[in-house]
Chains A and B, each alone.
Chain A
Amino acid sequence: MATQSTQPAQPLRSGAATEPAATEPAVTGTAPGGPPPGRAGRGERPPRRRGERGPLASFGLHAGLLVGAFIALFPPFWLLVTSFKPRSESFSLSLVSEFSLDNYDHVINNTAFLTWFGNSVLIVVVTTFLAVFISSTTGYALSRFRFPGMRSLMWTLLITQMFPMAVLIVPLYNLMSRYGLLNQPVGLIVTYLTIAVPFCAWMMKGFFDTIPVAIDESGRVDGLTPFGTYWRLVLPLAKPGLAVTAFYSFVTAWAEVAYATAFMTGEQNLTLAGGLQTFVNQHTQDWHTMTAAAVLIAVPAALVFGYAQRHLQAGLTAGATKS
């Protein structure tokens, strides 16, 4: 693919091979949205049209993207490859020489992996559901109404999102310990809500902002209360927004490490983030087991992500840049 230099949509042009190479190399990396055209009105050759570029620029573009893609793909790829190698070959440099599923077999049957998986799913699903449920009305209120206390609420939400886990982890740990919630899924769910609720409320506000106010107005005209407007008119329209918000809090909680490591101890109570650490630490170096577990954790996450990613850009900018 790297040598692909002509574009399918382009009209054929003559003399592509004789394009001046010297003007091209610098632009492959950072040139703006319009591809670098030949300088207009220069010389007797017909000027290149917008959207066309020389072969060298094309080559540079593809080379750059290929390098980027390679770096992005290699670590997960290598993890996948290693997971199919027997233990003795974990660090061999060859691709799979003898394909085996022993690692997976071992992870599923001889470790508490499935328990951890269950713990993670339970905790993360409940957190996500609660967070979206709790925060959606607030997002709507922040988007539609002016009311006393609004500004301070916005500030609270914003600052809470900046909270480093270091500021809450100690008091939360002590409170959990007092109420016997350490090593309980409930404890971790409550903890994750401290991250997810402010974040979801903020993001939902962004989504509600994109729904025209005219819809609310028409609801009012038809005699709906504010709650009726919200529930019957706006919320159904905001479903994609709800989904993206839920997805984000899901991903965040799924990958959380610090709280999970500190609050959950004992093999039966760990979540995936804690469990994976037990394979490779000061005492054990079970890389082969780790790779298989890692693949089993990553594949469902990546599938969910792949399904949701088409909404990513919309969600990002809607949630992030508007206030």
Chain B
Amino acid sequence: MADASGPPAAVAGGGVTAPGPDRATDRKDTAPRGAGNGTPGGPGVGTRLRRGLSTHWYAWVMIAPVVTVIGVIVGWPLVRGLYLTFTDANEGNVERRIGVNTIDATYDFVGLQNYVDVLAGGQFWSKLTWTVIWTVSCVAITFLVGLTLANMLNRKVRGRALYRMALILPWAIPAFVSIFAWRMLFNERSGILNAALEGGGLSAMSWLTDPFWAKVSVIAVNVWLGVPFMLIAMLGALQSIPSEQYEAAEMDGAGPWQRFVNITLPGVRSVSATVVLLSCIWTFNMFPVIFLLTGGGPVGSTDILVTEAYKLAFQRSPRDFAGSATWGVLILLLLVLFALAYRRALRKQGDKEGVW
């Protein structure tokens, strides 16, 4: 734990800039990379297929386990989930076991009714609005704090290893444990935060029971949980920037701010692009913070889409499986659309090598 900097960072730097295999190469040219047995292109279809099999069988064998596993435990449930969204499945009519008896499913096909219900009701849209606010504020704050701290750590500071260790500690502790710790601090009657406020002559806050402050609290806790990851990622990015660039800029008379804008920011761009995308997706799906800190309360004001979907299926009575699955599918669609738009935006900015 004490070994803080140095070698890993160097590896990280190499990792960012080292050329990955170029996926854009012609896919028909199927020779394994690095092997000298390139197949001449242009034979007939049958020959190509046979030759494809003989060239690629080992690649296909190697990916077979993952393809099978994903097909069975992700693909199949996904298809079933999609099917459920077109039914009226709930607690009372799905297939279930009571003791040794199995009761068959009796739910019916209802077409697009679930989607109509969800999209026409106000619930989904109000949750979506809050989810977007939650995601944007969490990621923005986490990113700013992480970049700032990474900048501060990326210099000669006495006790640097200690600072680094302290700052990534929130990451080392399972999130659900930390969330309970925060719940204790936020406790309205006897938590230490309110005690501190009152000690400072301010009035106590209803941290988790007032809709506004509950939102602030969940965002704060999520930022607390997210900063270490951001910090480490940005630190790796910063350390991959060659110091010659700073020397050259300084030689040319660039001030600290100019160097930050013109060297540091472009230098961390590629890593930031990936990390921000990942954070957005994670935050959008961040279940435990909301579920354990406020339980979505007060009166659902902090429920994001995923916690609401969870509640529909597992906490409300009767359990609405079809409705919950519909929410799930819509959430997935939103995420995929977001990721595609994000990627396109990056491409447009001329990010040739791209993040993925």
Flag the segment in B134-142, B200-208, B324-332 that touches A. Answer: B324-332
Q: Is A73 a contact partner of B169 (Cβ separation < 8 A)?
A: yes
Q: Is B169 a contact partner of A166 (Cβ separation < 8 A)?
A: no
Q: Which of A16-47 contact B (CB under 8 A)?
A: 27-37, 39-40
Interface size for B (C-beta < 8 A) is: 147
Q: Is B292 a contact partner of A34 (Cβ separation < 8 A)?
A: no
Q: Is B78 a contact partner of A171 (Cβ separation < 8 A)?
A: yes
Report the Cα distance A68→B110, complex, angstroms.
54
Flag the segment in B118-126, B211-219, B248-256 that touches A. Answer: B248-256
Closest CB in chain B relative to A219 CB, distance in Å:
10
Q: Which of A169-191 contact B (CB under 8 A)?
A: 169-175, 177-178, 180, 190-191
Nearest-CB residue, chain A, relative to B323? A170
Chain A residue contacts of B298, Cβ below 8 A: none
Q: Is B18 a contact partner of A209 (Cβ separation < 8 A)?
A: yes
**For the complex, is B346 an interface residue (Cβ under 8 Å from A)?**
no
Chain B's interface: helix, strand, loop or mixed, by majority? helix
Closest CB in chain A relative to B134 CB, distance in Å:
14
Chain B residue contacts of A12, Cβ below 8 A: none
Report the Cα distance A76→B162, complex, angstroms.
16
B23-36 vs A, CB cutoff 8 Å, 1 = contact: the mask equals 10101011111111
Closest CB in chain A relative to B258 CB, distance in Å:
9
Given contacts A32-B260, A160-B74, A323-B355, contact A257 B291 (CB under 8 A): yes
Report the Cα distance A309→B229, complex, angstroms.
11
B69, B155, B309: the one contacting A193 at CB < 8 Å is: B69
**For the complex, is B316 an interface residue (Cβ under 8 Å from A)?**
no
Given contacts A156-B70, A317-B15, contact A166 B305 (CB under 8 A): yes
Q: Is A291 a contact partner of B184 (Cβ separation < 8 A)?
A: yes
Q: Is B181 a contact partner of A164 (Cβ separation < 8 A)?
A: no
Q: Is B62 a contact partner of A141 (Cβ separation < 8 A)?
A: yes
Q: Is A61 a contact partner of B152 (Cβ separation < 8 A)?
A: yes
Chain A residue contacts of B15, Cβ below 8 A: 206, 210, 314, 317-318, 321-322
Instruction: List the interface of chain A (C-beta within 8 A of B).
Output: 1, 4, 7-9, 27-37, 39-40, 50-51, 61-62, 64-65, 68-69, 71-76, 78-79, 82, 91, 93, 134-135, 137-138, 140-151, 153-154, 156-175, 177-178, 180, 190-191, 193-194, 197-198, 201, 206, 209-210, 213-214, 216-217, 220, 225-227, 230, 251, 254-255, 257-258, 261-262, 272-273, 276-277, 280, 287, 290-291, 294, 297-298, 301-302, 305-307, 309-314, 316-318, 320-323
Q: A227-B58, A310-B7, A320-B233 are in contact. List 5 more A-B contacts (CB 8 A).
A: A146-B25, A164-B335, A174-B95, A210-B14, A262-B310
